[in-house]
Structure 1
Amino acid sequence: MMIARLALALGAALLASAAPLPDGIEGVWRNPHNSVHIRYESCGKGAICGTVVWASDKAIADAKRGGTENLIGTSIFRNLYPAGANRWKGSVFVPDIKKTFSGTVTIEGDRMIGRGCLLLGVGCKSQTWSRVAE
Structure 2
Amino acid sequence: MFTLLALLAATAADPLAGTWRNAADSVRIRVAPCRGEPGMCGTVVSASDRAKADAAAAGTDRLVGTPLFRGFERDEDGAWAGTVFVPDIGSEVAGTLHLEGRDTLVAEGCLFAGFGCKEQRWTRVAAR
The residue correspondences of 1:14-33 to structure 2 (distance < 5 A) are: 14-18=3-7, 20-21=10-11, 22-33=13-24
Structure 1, 83-92 or 69-78: larger mean CA deviation = 83-92
Aligned residues, how many? 123
Residue 122 of structure 1, aligned match among 93, 112, 115: 115
CA RMSD of aligned residues (A): 1.8
TM-score (norm. length: structure 2): 0.86
**1:13 CA displacement:** 5.1
Q: Paired residue for 2:33?
A: 42
Q: Paired residue for 1:106?
A: 98
Higher strand share: 2
In our comparison, the structure showing a higher alpha carbon Rg is 1
One-letter identity of the residue aligned with 1:34: D
Q: Paired residue for 1:65?
A: 57
Structure 1, 63-72 or 44-53: larger mean CA deviation = 44-53
**1:61 CA displacement:** 1.1
Q: Secondary structure at the match of 2:114?
A: coil
Q: Secondary structure at the match of 1:130?
A: strand
- Kept in 1, the 8 Å contact 2:109–2:118? The answer is yes
Distance in 2 of aligned mates of 1:56 and 1:96? 13
Q: Secondary structure at the match of 1:124?
A: strand
**1:80 CA displacement:** 0.4
Higher RCO (CA-CA < 8 Å; seq separation 6+): 2
Which runs of 5 or more structure 1 residues have no equivalent in the other structure? Answer: 1-11
One-letter identity of the residue aligned with 1:61: A
Q: Secondary structure at the match of 1:64?
A: helix
